[in-house]
Structure formats: structure tokens, C-alpha cells
A and B are shown apart, each in its own frame.
Chain A
Amino acid sequence: MEKVIEVQHLNKSFGAHEVLKDIDFSVHKGEVVSIIGSSGSGKSTLLRCINLLEKPGGGQIMFHGENILDDRHDIFAYRQKLGMVFQQFNLFENHNVLKNCVVGQIKVLKRTKEEAEKVAMKYLKVVGMDKYIYAKPKQLSGGQKQRVAIARALSMEPDVMLFDEPTSALDPEMVGEVLKVMRELAEIGLTMLIVTHEMEFAREVSDRVVFMDKGVIAEEGSPEQIFNHPQQERTKEFLKRTLSL
């Protein structure tokens, strides 16, 4: 199947601290890939390098076969094609729910207001937030904010959705509503790359699971392989630690 993102020999350091070391992996069209691993292993950094919120130190990031680290590549055009969902939601505080989903479409994709609102309503319905279009972010609960953030990203109709621990900042009772939305997206066949600590969820929705440890990909495979028959010692250790919690 067609590769949407292919990361080759990716490196990233903060000062002398090497956070990502020679990362190689890819995401295929329609695939759901989960990245798991302990805190500080570089999961967020990898995601942020992929959409260039961090500048990679070396290596290549291929998007539909084109190296986007090439100087000539238009990073703004590239970013439109990636949807990003952050742990802290990062909704635009000055806009209401609808406007959050509309502003990018109008300013970046140059859609008309009517068109943009139609698209926004469609995805707000998907995440179940279509009744709250006039609410400001500070008037919403964490789970509602995150669902709006997902709708905002979907409204740009990206090729891939990147999720960086979308449920980690939520109260336990709100985790479910966000995971439910993400499950539905997985079922529609959306291409997704998800950093998560929700092991049950990763096992259920993923086509492939990537285990990261200290800046390298220690092991990757099907959920069945990673969760039931891990090969590496450190994968086993990590799973024992997290699943026993």
C-alpha cells in the first residue's frame, strides 16, 4: 500500500541531548499506527518533527514520496495536509467552536465562509459538538475541547492525523468520549498516527504499534505481536510496568 509518511534516519538533538536517534518508520494510507513508550523516550518530539514544529537535525521525511526537508519545499502547504491534535487542546481562545474549525479553512485553504462552515459542521457532528458552535473554548470541559480540536483538524481534510497523547490531560471520565471519536475515525479508514498511553485503546484500534525507548524504535509490529509476544527485553519490561498499573 501507498506510503503517506516515510521517516528515514531521522535525528534530533536538543543541545547535547540526543532525543531521536536514526528513526526509520512509515505510515501507509488508511493505516492506524500507535506509538507507545515511556515518558521522555521522544514520542512527542518525533511527532513534532514530522510536522516541523521542531526542526529535525538530520535525515529525511518523505511525504507521498517527496522529501519535505528539501529547502525548496513549501512547509505551509505541507502542514495543511497534516492534522495535529495536541495534549493541551490548544484551541484558539478568541474564537468560538465554529470559528475554530472555520478560520484555517478560510485563511489557509481559501475556502469561502459558507463552504467552510458546511465542512466544519460536518466534522463537528462527527465529534458530537455541533450543538456547541457558539461556545468559547473556556466554557467547555476538557473532553469537549479535545473533540473540537479534533474537528478543527479534520476540517482541513488532511491526509494524515497526528495525535499527541490526546487524552492525557483529561479527567478519567472524559477519556472515553475522546477515544470513542477516535475509534470511529479509525473505522472510517482515516490515516492516523497516535502517541498514547492508553494501551487497551492502542491494542484495539492499531494496525501497527511502535514501541520507542530512549530515542530509538525498539520494536514494532502488529498489536498482537507487541502486546502478546514482545521480542525485546525492554518492551516486555515497559508493558509489565504499564499494564500492572
Chain B
Amino acid sequence: MSFEWIVRIVSENWPMFLRGAGMTLFIALIGTVIGAVIGLMAGVIRTIPMPERGPKKLVLKIINIILSIYIEFFRGTPMIVQAMVIYYGSALAFNIDMNVMLAAVIVVSINTGAYMAEIVRGGIVSIDKGQYEAAQAIGMNHFQTMTNVVLPQVIRNILPATGNQFVINIKDTSVLNVISVSELYFLTKSVAGNNFRYFESFFVACMIYFVMTFAVTRILLYFERKLDGPDNYTVLNEELEPKKI
């Protein structure tokens, strides 16, 4: 009976599953955070107004081209192949035996970064130009305008997309088993390899993946609501001195 097997597999291998799930969550989380930061930076750089002439224009143009290549390349190739290329490539190119964990985090981060760069750019462009101009008009430069006015709104707006990317990463870290990262899929494979109960073992993994993605989605939804703040404000009355915020 499958059900008894499932119970047995869980009770015998739970530390293994837990470790795998932890590793999956860890790589997905770090990868998403670093990827989001890469995406934000790329998005900010790609929206710098192009100077009309001079060396600054040339530098910005070259950086933009490099960013475009990066984005197109990583969005246009499968992560499973990127993992192989980066892991074995680094060994070949620099003669270093890269830690698989490090390789895993790098692959997920730059892959996520490529997707987030486009999302961030869309988010920046969607903030109406008037606010950007108002910030410029009080003397802010591009960087100050971005950090004080545009990005806080962009971050709020791209939060759903980032959460989505996190969920995708939780699932897609499974491809990292090709470079022997001990994430959930990899460890499940070894559990199944020992007991030859493939269906039951992977059914357990399946449940764990689902619980993780479902929980993450809910938690993010809660944060989004929290970030939006209260729907009402209080009008101060005469006696009340305005409090510090």
C-alpha cells in the first residue's frame, strides 16, 4: 500500500527532506533577493536619461549594450544549461573547483536578475513622468530621484512579480540537481534510489514543494497589504500638536 509507504518514507527520511527543503528555500530566497537587487540596479541604469554628447554618453551606451546582452542571453537559455556552463566553465576557465552551493546561488541570482531587470524597467517607466519632473524641479539628481521617489513606488509595484519569481525559483532550483546541489529534488532522488519507491518518495517531495510555494504566496500577500498602509488618515485638530512621525 502506497500510503503506508509514504508514512514510512517520511518517518525514516524526514531529516533528509527537511534538509533538502531548507536548501531549496535558502537558494531560492538568496537568489531572488540578489536577483532583485541586480534587477533594480540594471533598471535604474537603463533609465538614466542619455546625455547628448561627450564621454559619458559613450560609457552609458556601452553599459546599456552589455546589460541588454546579459538580459537577452539569460532569458533566452534554460537555467539547467546555465548551471552546467557556469559550474564546469568556472572550473575550466579559472581552474577553480567552485563550491556547488556558490554556483547554485550565482546561477539563480543572475537568472532572476535578468528577468527582474525588465520588470523593474517596466515599473520605473510606469511611474508617471510628472513625479520624476517634480523631483528634478526641486533639484534632485537622477540617483536621488530614484531612491527617494521612484524606487519606493517601483518596489511596491514589482512586489507581486518578485514574489512570483520567488515561487518560480523554489520550483526551478530542482534543475540544480545536475550539478549535485543537495536541494530537495536531489535528496529525494537519493531517498528513492535507496528504497526504490519512486512514486511515494516524489509524492512527498511534491507536497513539500507545494506547501513552500503556497506559504510564500500567502506571506507576500500579507506584506503587500501591510505596505499599502491604512486607508484613512486623521485630520489633526487645533489643540493637538503634530506628533513626530
Min CB distance B123 to A, Å, is 13
Is B234 part of the binding interface, using a Cβ–Cβ cutoff of 8 Å? yes
Cβ of A91: which chain B residues have Cβ within 8 Å of it? 131, 134
Given contacts A86-B130, A94-B153, A94-B156, whether A53 and B136 have CB atoms under 8 Å apart is: yes
Chain A residue at minimum C-beta to C-beta distance from B233: A135
Chain A residue at minimum C-beta to C-beta distance from B127: A93
Contact A136 B233 (CB under 8 A): yes
Min CB distance B189 to A, Å, is 46
Given contacts A131-B236, A133-B242, A136-B229, whether A90 and B134 have CB atoms under 8 Å apart is: yes
Contact B131 A98 (CB under 8 A): no
Contact B138 A131 (CB under 8 A): no
Contact A86 B233 (CB under 8 A): no
Is B148 part of the binding interface, using a Cβ–Cβ cutoff of 8 Å? yes
Cβ of A76: which chain B residues have Cβ within 8 Å of it? 139-141
Interface size class of B (residues with CB under 8 A): 20 to 34
Partner of B137, one of A82, A98, A135, A136: A82
Given contacts A98-B245, A107-B148, A108-B140, whether A92 and B134 have CB atoms under 8 Å apart is: yes
Residue-wise, chain B 120-156 has the 8 Å CB interface mask toward A (1 for contact) of 0000000010110111111111001000110011001
Chain B residue at minimum C-beta to C-beta distance from A109: B139
Number of chain A residues whose Cβ lies closer than 8 Å to a Cβ of chain B: 40
CA distance A76 to B135 in the complex (A): 11
Is A46 part of the binding interface, using a Cβ–Cβ cutoff of 8 Å? no
| 23 A-B pairs with C-beta separation under 8 A | A51-B137, A53-B137, A55-B52, A76-B139, A78-B139, A79-B136, A80-B138, A84-B134, A84-B137, A90-B130, A91-B134, A92-B131, A94-B149, A98-B242, A98-B245, A107-B148, A130-B236, A132-B233, A133-B236, A133-B242, A134-B236, A139-B233, A149-B134
Chain B interface (Cβ < 8 Å from any Cβ of A): 52, 128, 130-131, 133-141, 144, 148-149, 152-153, 156, 229, 232-237, 242, 245
Cβ of B235: which chain A residues have Cβ within 8 Å of it? 131-132, 135
Chain A residue at minimum C-beta to C-beta distance from B149: A92
Is A10 part of the binding interface, using a Cβ–Cβ cutoff of 8 Å? no
CA distance A107 to B138 in the complex (A): 10
Is A151 part of the binding interface, using a Cβ–Cβ cutoff of 8 Å? no
CA distance A134 to B229 in the complex (A): 12
Contact A86 B133 (CB under 8 A): yes
Cβ of B141: which chain A residues have Cβ within 8 Å of it? 76
Chain B residue at minimum C-beta to C-beta distance from A78: B139
Cβ of B234: which chain A residues have Cβ within 8 Å of it? 134
Chain A interface (Cβ < 8 Å from any Cβ of B): 51, 53, 55, 76-80, 82-84, 86, 88-96, 98-99, 103-104, 107-108, 121, 130-136, 139, 149, 152-153, 156
Cβ of A108: which chain B residues have Cβ within 8 Å of it? 138-140, 144
Contact B138 A104 (CB under 8 A): yes
CA distance A237 to B116 in the complex (A): 55
Cβ of B149: which chain A residues have Cβ within 8 Å of it? 92, 94-95, 103
Min CB distance B93 to A, Å, is 43
CA distance A161 to B153 in the complex (A): 28
CA distance A96 to B138 in the complex (A): 17
Min CB distance A168 to B, Å, is 14
Cβ of B242: which chain A residues have Cβ within 8 Å of it? 98, 121, 130, 133
Cβ of A90: which chain B residues have Cβ within 8 Å of it? 128, 130-131, 133-134
Contact A134 B140 (CB under 8 A): no
Partner of A92, one of B52, B135, B136, B245: B135
Partner of B131, one of A93, A130, A133: A93
Given contacts A86-B130, A92-B134, A134-B245, whether A107 and B144 have CB atoms under 8 Å apart is: yes
